[in-house]
Structure 1
């Protein structure tokens, strides 16, 4: 069986009457990128805070990096790193001084701390800026330094809570490459993000959290296949070919002016091959073909919208009773 970096069973957290987490179950395999998505207030940051020992849950159990969260929190802290929504960089210190400070907090010797700082400055392309105050760094440089500080203790598991918020597209993609390199080296990444493209690009598995409950989980492709709307669009050179294809296939939406036929489907290789083979068997020539599948935006909006509708219906039913 695959070893788990995180195993959560029935995690609960409330603040007064406000239920933030309502029986959350999670399983994150070692050496993977796991992304937790959800609208504002869904419980993403609370989940990270609990699993990184910053706050205590009201119920449920969890093992993080092989350690029981409740019984061995110090061991959990020694095995993880956390990069939060807001940078932990001290802007009055230089980049190198920030890293050396983290080395002191991790109880590294002065020699080992300097060696580690030099290694991370090189790795994150911060050598030229190492002696400059962090206040002079761009947003992307500060986030790189923030992540470098997280790596001083060589964590096996890193929590990245919306790590690219506010970054420009170039800096965001730079962070993606760093994350991929970390995972290639055996590190596990637990990622929360508001950028659905980010989860699509990086995550091995994605979970959608809404109202403190997990409402869907799977790979990006598995989640996309749950949402209707995928189709193959065929374009023909002449109306006769369009009419013949529509009659042969027996389904789809035709646009006579554009000479196109939209055939419902998930866009899978096998389904597309069968469709083209069917047309070829009747010598129906396709001038152009394109595959359209739902993206994670569609998944997110559909799933969280369904959840909102269900809550509204439950409230109305309760009030009517």
Structure 2
């Protein structure tokens, strides 16, 4: 990390420097953060204290809420501190930590959503084998694998960016340290290494999305064969929240990372970053609370 001698901090200039607008943004971010914290924490507590919700599906939902809390806590508290203290600086190590943990939790989120699709497939298509396949230890090991397997990927992603030299500028037109904008600031020739990492990331996302799609093709094929309408509705009510969560995560993330970085500050770039980093942790608790009858009854 010899490049710390040239750049020791970055300046996050994604929002206005007018004090009145900073206070407004602080209040908006605080409201969003509290909504995400309350919603996800409520789901965790309700499932934890309700014995009839101690199932693999709800265990994975606890992990998803924990990941959502972790993801939004990587970006918003630092931005709120900037608004409150009227500053824009983030240290080099702080920026590295944001990049690392954001990618750890983001990748783990996708891995867990993939595992949840498999859980739904077993529950609906192979119900007689469900308790044998998805027993308690299996659920714990699977969730732990989803968390831990993303650490090497995030280390690769972070190391590939932060070994670059940042000597020409340290201004990021974002509210947190985002990889495309860090690459834009770099004065190193990073094209081939970044293309390799992006291709690897794209391959992982495609594999997860293909696995989820195949699972749901078989699920819907099985559900449509059920003659009882009430059982069909119950099966669909189990799958729809997960499908919405997957669609929200993949669509916002793909839009943010596949969209070319603008040469000048753009409201579209800022909006894209807000959507994929803030929206899923806030919306997921609403989706699962409103559509899951078991959680609504427990609440």
The structure with more strand, counted as a fraction of residues = 1
TM-score relative to the length of structure 2: 0.24
Q: Which has the higher contact order (CA 8 A, sep 6+)?
A: 2
TM-score relative to the length of structure 1: 0.22
The structure with more helix, counted as a fraction of residues = 2
Q: Who wins on radius of gyration, i.e. which is larger?
A: 1
